[in-house]
Every structure is written in C-alpha cells, then in structure tokens.
Structure 1
C-alpha cells in the first residue's frame, strides 16, 4: 500500500489546447474551409515519370542511379507481378524538380539500357477501374439449360 502524501497543493489546471494552437491555418479553396498546415514540411511539387521497356533484371536502385545524374530522385520503383515477384518491365521515378525531370525525359527516351530501348515520358494519372471481376452478366454458365 502506498502512503498518501498530504500537504501538497494541487497543480493549477491548464487551459485545453485547441487544434488551432498547434499549426497555423490556411485557406483551402478546393474545399472552402480552413485546414492546418505544417510549419516544418516544405511543399514539394513532385514530377512522376514513367519508364517502360525496362530489362527484367532492373531494380529500383538501378532506376535511381540512372536518373540521379539529372537531379534529386525522391523515389524509384520497378513494378513487379503480385504473384511471381518478377519485374513487369516498367517502373516509375519521382523527381523533386520539374526541370530536372524534363531533362531526364529528353535524354533517356529511346536510349538503350540493358539491351532495350527505353520509353520515358511524364506519367499519366491512373484511370479509375470499372467493375470488379466476376462474370459480369450474372451467368447461366454451366447450368445446362
């Protein structure tokens, strides 16, 4: 059992912190509301680049090394098959500077790399997929009607 200490004055109660105390707010015109912004993070406009016709033995670090000569590479990844883990022959590189990305695209497009001619261009936004597998028409497959 812990003995109670008497004679201590209670601590003063501090006012509750509000979300507005932690970060300044800025106006978000897209949503027409105020949102917190971070003071420490600098907003960087990344440029995403598609790299196609890669040799199947190429890796993310290989892509990073290939693009590093043009500027800062934020990320580089080779897309792999989910089931086999084998490269699908294309990947994506994100660069922090649009001018460096443009220089890399201009220099590396149609250049031989690992015995193959690369396809290098600005990545397009991913299209939304429609549907979700299945048989689609609801069937009758194998019912023997």
Structure 2
C-alpha cells in the first residue's frame, strides 16, 4: 500500500511558525519513510468554484470524503458569493486554508486535516502529522478504521 501525503500551502502568505512546523513534520514523515511520498503544492487564496483548477478539485474531493465518513472538513475553507461588477454575474468563491493536508493510500483519499471528527474533536494539521509520525491513527474516534497501515 502506497501512502502519499499532500501538503497544500496558500500562495503569497507570510510564513508563520506553525506553517514551518507543519512543513518540517511532513518532510520528516517522508524522510523516515512513514509515507512513501510527500508532495507540496501552492494554491491560490481564492478561486471561483466554477473553475477547473486543483484547489476546487481538492475541495470537492475532501467534501465528498467528509460526507461519506461523517467528518466535518469545512472549517478551514470559507465560501461566499460575489457579484462581478462588470457582468453582474454571481459566482461562488472558495477561500483556501493557509495549510491543508490530504493522505492517500494507493490514490484513494484516507484522511484530511484540519477537520472535526463526529465527536467534536478538532484535528489540527500538526496533530495529524504527529500521529502519523508516531504510527497512531489520528482519527481514533472514526469507525472507518486505522489510517496507518
């Protein structure tokens, strides 16, 4: 089973200590072979939901995964509707998180962070990575089973 950790970072955002910690933890997971591959991607701060871009694809994929697993993935994302002043067309705009993680096994989504579990537990990106480093399941409360093979 091949584990891929995807780290999404908002472009043009000043780097904070927490971002540095997440990036360092993700690199450590890759270096210690806790994951088979670690990919870093910059995404825009905002994007129209009707665009065919990676940020929208990730949002739609994690939203479907969250619905199927009773996990709230919406907290780090924000949606709003705006009217284009030139055309008066209304569009839905997605605001991306500063840091977002997805974990895939053999190309299938197996986990995301940050998120909120069914029992109300909030899983941060750093806690998610720390659990993977310690070979623990960051979603102990989920009925879907352990993420760590």
Shorter-chain TM-score range: under 0.3
Does 1 or 2 have the higher relative contact order (CA < 8 Å, sep 6+)? Answer: 2
Higher helix share: 2
Q: Greater Rg, structure 1 or structure 2?
A: 1
TM-score, normalised to structure 1, is 0.23
Larger strand share, 1 or 2: 2
